[in-house]
Amino acid sequence: MNWYTKKFSELDTLTFYKLAKARVDIFVVEQACAYPELDDVDILEETQHIYCLDNDGEVVAYSRCYLKASKVTAIGRVIITEQNRGKGLASVLMKESLNVCAKLWPECKVQLSAQTHLAPFYQRLGFKPISDSYLEDGIPHTDMELAQ
C-alpha cells in the first residue's frame, strides 16, 4: 500500500475519478444520502487530498484537509473502502491527515464534522465535541476539535 498527499492540480484524471467514485460509493450509495458530494473545496489550491492505494491502484482510504476559516483547518470526507475496514487503517489515515495539518497549518485549530456514531473513535485520537448532535443530510453529526 502506498500513501499520497496531493493538491487537486497534482492529481491525474484517473486517480481523481477513483477517489471521487470511492467517496460517492460510500457517502451517496452505501449511506443512501443524496447530496452534492463533489464541491468546490476539492479544487481549492490549499486543499490536500490524502489517500492510500493498494498495489493494484485501487482506493483503500481517503480524506481531505483544507483551510476552513481563519486559524481553522478541517479534515473531511474520511473514508475507508468497505473491503479494507477493520484493519486499523482509519487510525493511520487520521494520523496522516493530522500530520498534513500540522505541517502546513501549524498555527491552526483542527476541526471535523464526525458522524455521531464515530465520535468515540475521534475522541481516542484527541478530538473533543464542540457541538451538540445535529442532522446533516439526514445523518447525525457532531462537530469536533482537536484538543490543544
Q: 34-81 pLDDT, tens per residue?
A: 777 889 999 999 999 999 999 999 999 999 999 998 899 999 999 999
Question: Which residue reads 486559524 in cell numbers?
Answer: 71
Asked whether residue 93 is domain-assigned, the answer is yes
Euclidean distance between CA atoms 60 and 84, whole angstroms: 6
Asked whether residue 58 is domain-assigned, the answer is yes
Asked whether residue 124 is domain-assigned, the answer is no
**Range of 104's domain?**
2-110
Query: Which among 121, 113, 109 is positioned nearest to 142, based on CA atoms?
Result: 113
Number of domains in the chain: 1
The x, y and z cell numbers of residue 139, run together, are 445523518
What confidence category does residue 32 fall into, taking pLDDT thresholds of 50, 70 and 90? Answer: confident
CATH number at residue 61: 3.40.630.30
Asked whether residue 59 is domain-assigned, the answer is yes
Question: Which residue reads 484493519 in cell numbers?
Answer: 87
Asked whether residue 60 is domain-assigned, the answer is yes
Asked whether residue 145 is domain-assigned, the answer is no
Amino acid type, 142:
T
